[in-house]
Amino acid sequence: MALSLTAIHERFGVEVHDIQLAGLTDEGFADIRDAFERHSLLLFRNQTIDDATHIALAKRFGAIENRQDMTLKADADFKVPTVSNLTKNGTVADESDLQTLNLKANMLWHCDSTFLPIPALTNILIARTVTKEKGHTEFATSRAGWADMPEVMKNKLRGRMARHHYAHSRARISEELSKLPEFNKWPERSWKTVWTNPVTGDEALYLASHAFAIEGMDAEEGSQLIDEALGFVTQPEYVYAHAWREDDVVIWDQRAVLHRATPWNYNEPRKLSSICVSASSEDGLDLMRSIG
Ligand SMILES: [Fe+2]
């Protein structure tokens, strides 16, 4: 079965038509996985998909990331995480709340979970409650950006490891936020600065707002290089801004795409369901752990 695809950006991303993700066959998933490897971002509109189907879809990509317990094998207690400004009692969080500040930290370009022992392969986001305007999620192709990057900048990055820590991206928004235990649970992690897709052979820049230093490089020089490289691959020609409609599903390749949230009127509720899937050796993870 060939998928019906239309491009949503010149360099990456496709909308997939005429498919319901609930009730996906193995053959249908194989086509989706292939499109994921090649196009890096997939958009599906008008999906009827509950939490159980969301979980089942995520499991087809690999092991579901469970931050409550990274070592948990059984996922009976897994609850689908949400990205939202709604508080536990259903009201909208105040703009100065730590919950809102944390959402603001998501407005820095990043890939998910580079601070965890295993980073994410993908995030499957579903729009549950959307705002009338704004609140787009922006995506940047770090694959096309890397392909176009001047050799002089590439040569500084090749064969290097970047150091990542969750508190670093939070400290850029608020010192108070960065000191919360949830952002200091995991020791820093180092990943190679370039991720090669084992299926297509494409390389992509692998850095994020959580990256604070380059191993073997002077602190200031390293953080400047991180900012310059992120700045290069997030130039407007590499960016697709997604305007959410309810029941949209977006699935993207964290190895080849950076993303960030954008602001909205915080008096309006906004809720996305989000499941990250951890990368595996088949996704090229082992090669990211050290220079060799
Ligand atoms: Fe994110």
Domain ranges of the chain: 4-288
Q: What percent of the chain has pLDDT over 70?
A: 97
Nearest 5 degrees, angle CA 209-CA 214-CA 218?
A: 120
Distance 111 CA to ligand 1 centre (A): 6
Q: What is the pLDDT of residue 98?
A: 84
Distance 83 CA to ligand 1 centre (A): 9
Distance 282 CA to ligand 1 centre (A): 22
Residue 70, pLDDT > 80, answer no
Q: What is the pLDDT of residues 85-103, one digit of tens each?
A: 888 888 888 877 888 888 8
The mean pLDDT value of the chain amounts to 93
Q: What is the pLDDT of residue 1?
A: 65
What is the DSSP code (8-state) at residue 64?
B
Distance 110 CA to ligand 1 centre (A): 6
Beta-carbon neighbour count of residue 150 at 10 Å? 8
Distance 290 CA to ligand 1 centre (A): 24
pLDDT band at 29 (very low <50, low <70, confident <90, very high): very high
Q: What is the pLDDT of residue 60?
A: 97
- Residue 201 vs residues 33, 38, 105: alpha-carbon distances, Å: 15, 10, 32
Distance 20 CA to ligand 1 centre (A): 25
Q: What is the pLDDT of residues 238-285, one digit of tens each?
A: 999 999 999 999 999 999 999 999 998 888 999 999 999 999 999 999
Helix boundaries (H) for 80-218: 98-105, 142-148, 151-157, 166-171, 175-178
Q: What is the pLDDT of residue 129?
A: 95
User: In CATH, what number does 4-288 get?
Assistant: 3.60.130.10
Q: Is 112 within 8 Å of 235 (Cβ atoms)?
A: no
Identify the burial level of 201 via C-beta atoms within 10 angstroms of its C-beta, where 0-12 means exposed, 13-18 middle and 19 or more buried: exposed
Q: What is the pLDDT of residues 167-213, one digit of tens each?
A: 988 988 888 989 999 899 999 999 999 999 999 999 999 999 999 99
Q: What is the pLDDT of residue 74?
A: 55
